[in-house]
Chain A
């Protein structure tokens, strides 16, 4: 109701304004294209007011939100990145204010007046050279600073880094720590089932997967033969689908068997000391972490805003990102004055309807606190008994 009233009001207002304007034109014997000096003055004045509020509002927002804007950088490279941010902001905001001001100033100053003539000025090579070269030089500076930081961030991890896997699926995160050997056990999506949520490869998980596939194929086989024997009545499409599914799982089973032959004994034990959790991601302060990302279904993006870290999580691929947290959660709570503050891992690539809920709390703490937490809250990635 309110909606239609607003639409009708807007239309009526437009119509009234139109009538008044047309009447005024008729009386003054004016044409639409006759822009009078007072029109120009009016618009020039409005440009002045607009420029004031436009540029002023940016200043206001920087003052109001500037400090709390970027969350405080809690990682080592994040602090370098903030320096880079500041260099860029200075350059970019200078250009923003200067060029917009000149634009509006010219629009106001050179507003048309009856009898004035514009200055015929078609080109000037020197001027054009200046504003090609100056931006080029400024951009060169930006590029050099930017790439230096970029190369640092994406460089190889140090030797004492700890390797952690972050696994994304609709709509939750799972974390797997690499344990004593600092190596993540091998994994494959074909081994994923209720007892092996990450598809970690061990002798037991391989056998269980093969057996699982065999069972699925046999179940389907039984269903199909029952169907063709006439005890179960399926539509033709459904029967056809059953056959296709049986064939598909048969092929997947063959692939697992083939895969098994590639895994030598030493590869099969890497996963033994891994441990995982779906609760929280805990990290030790001042310890560098190398994150490996995998996805089960669609593209997600692991976004740690406080650590200035982001990497897409792509099915069928292993992506990585490294960073070193340098402020613990406790310290950060003091800095922000917010007792309930927490670091977070968000999903930042549209991944389905509950995309905006996909997150995990991140905690940075001391080694002792980490060990205590680990004991209570993590478990082996596989619950299948080793035989």
Chain B
């Protein structure tokens, strides 16, 4: 295909910025949408942290945002508390860390790092974004319903999520949630198929699978995970819609709600849990793997060293992906499942720690004897590795079914998954934004503000989640509006929970305010930042060989040819401390 057909392409404002089929623009659209969703998601968490830190105290701040319906006289309503928790979880897990993270960086980097003109299907790619936007709008719309948003927890277990009589959010709010999620999954599937096809078919000359950057490996495996697991969530959602509207009994059996005896019999809520977590666990890695992929690239570039154990890194990605499909039962140890089955899930779950440990040790060895350049992206990547360690080890406690009996569904679980998947992934996402910002906007973000942003973020994040582990081990269940029941049986424990919750809330609020530094830096730099040079980080991957100015088709003229792997940093005998992938091997030079 000739390059000219792509390069000389007339674009109007609408085709360039709105209904764009260019992967770089779609990537930016995903990023901006995700940033907006993240602002909402984090803000919701600030609201409920105010309630948890200072339970039942009147606060004009709450009244200002929740109004007289949900915060009469500044005291948060119980229903909206659960609604905030539910929508915060849904937005962060799906819209920010799945749609936002994969959507942004898979779109931006897959064609650029593979040396392709665009995605396999630009049109489907555009559709994927627009469905994502629509589902985002519907999810936010749920917050404005009279009966409130879905508030049965982000896992929306039936029968609570089926009967409006059991909780107010299970009426229109839940319908909105289900419709929004169905659209979201459609968007995600279309995107994932596109990524897989592009990676398999559109690699440039010389780009063997074993020469692909680890970012691409991560996106590739993530897309496969998504394609295999999201359809299961669709089926779970469709069955729930039928239970809600057609009177079927997939998830319902022998219940009396709101004084009314229901006829449905023979279904099982546990069926829903199986279907949900069959997606739910791979979903953790759908979130995490792209962040780890970005980090691999950033750590190697900024340590000026090859990533240690490239093949082991690929192997561990594949092992994690495979295992992620056979561990979902560890979310269900106390559902009454057969104890033997529980034992099997303990075994498979703990196996995942092995490839995870390999990844951590490989990152650390990559730092060893490096010449580390602390760009903001590098700071965030080191933060990610720390969060991955800190969150990973508490996973070992939770994977042990016997110990899970005690800490299941407590704040310990909340702390665990926020650190290992939320914090790791969001740090990885920030790292990616700082690192590839010049590729997205042709300008540089301010480094000093980046430093400040990182330090505030990491200090506040740990300030929030470290004490939360202790609250959980103390026996504090999650999704509690307050812990006032403790007054009736253990005031010592109550005191500890209250003390720590204040600390957590203070850090959460400061951390949220700190993100304004990032937002300012992002939007200011996109408009007025220093103009970027072609390869500011002295990196090896192909995206840094294309011109700074975006053109349709990415490279003017021929596509680059690849001669080596992407990690030739500080290679002995080379003139520079980096050798881009399109530089041919010298005479007698070994590949790696």
Contact = CB atoms under 8 A, between A and B. Distances in A.
Interface stretch (A10-18, A224-232, A370-378): A10-18
B530 A32 contact: yes
Contact of B364 (A1, A102, A122, A311): A102
Given A118-B369, A122-B308, A88 B403 contact: yes
Query: Most chain-A Cβ atoms within 10 A of its Cβ — which of B254, B269, B397?
Result: B254
Most interface-central of A6, A58, A88, A154 (chain B CB within 10 A): A154
Contact of A131 (B361, B386, B408, B448): B361
A189 B254 contact: yes
Contact of B306 (A2, A44, A120): A120
Interface residues of B, number: 138
Interface in B226-275: 252-257, 261, 263, 265-270
A379 interface: no
A297 B408 contact: no
A359 to B, nearest CB: 5
B466 interface: yes
A184 to B, nearest CB: 16
25 contacts: A14-B521, A18-B446, A33-B537, A68-B474, A70-B473, A71-B493, A92-B393, A110-B372, A118-B569, A122-B308, A139-B396, A150-B400, A192-B256, A297-B163, A303-B409, A309-B405, A315-B269, A349-B409, A350-B153, A350-B479, A351-B166, A355-B479, A356-B481, A357-B484, A361-B488
A61 B61 CA distance: 31
**Which 7 pairs show the lowest CB-CB distances between chains A and B?**
A316-B253, A319-B336, A154-B339, A32-B444, A305-B475, A342-B489, A14-B520
A298 B374 contact: no
A92 B397 contact: yes
A234 interface: no
Contact of A151 (B61, B335, B343, B405): B343
Contact of A348 (B357, B364, B408): B408
A229 B363 CA distance: 81
A359 B269 contact: no
B354 A139 contact: yes
Given A296-B255, A315-B255, A338-B492, A39 B364 contact: no
Given A92-B393, A128-B358, A361-B489, A189 B255 contact: yes
Contacts of A127: 365
Contacts of A85: 397, 403, 406
Contact of A32 (B350, B445, B470): B445
Interface stretch (A93-101, A200-208, A266-274, A282-290): A93-101
A135 interface: yes
A317 to B, nearest CB: 6
Contacts of A340: 489, 491
Contacts of B354: 132, 135-136, 139
A33 B375 contact: yes
Interface of B: 60-61, 64, 78-79, 82, 152-153, 157, 159-160, 163, 166-168, 252-257, 261, 263, 265-270, 303-306, 308-312, 334-336, 339, 342-343, 346-347, 350-351, 353-354, 357-358, 360-365, 367-375, 379, 382, 385-386, 389-390, 393-394, 396-397, 400-403, 405-406, 408-410, 444-449, 451-452, 455, 458-459, 462, 466-467, 470, 473-475, 477, 479-485, 488-493, 496, 513-514, 516-517, 520-521, 524, 529-530, 533, 536-537, 567, 569-572, 577, 592
A96 B268 CA distance: 40
Interface residues of A, number: 132
A150 B445 contact: no
Contact of A11 (B60, B342, B516): B516
A170 B385 CA distance: 43
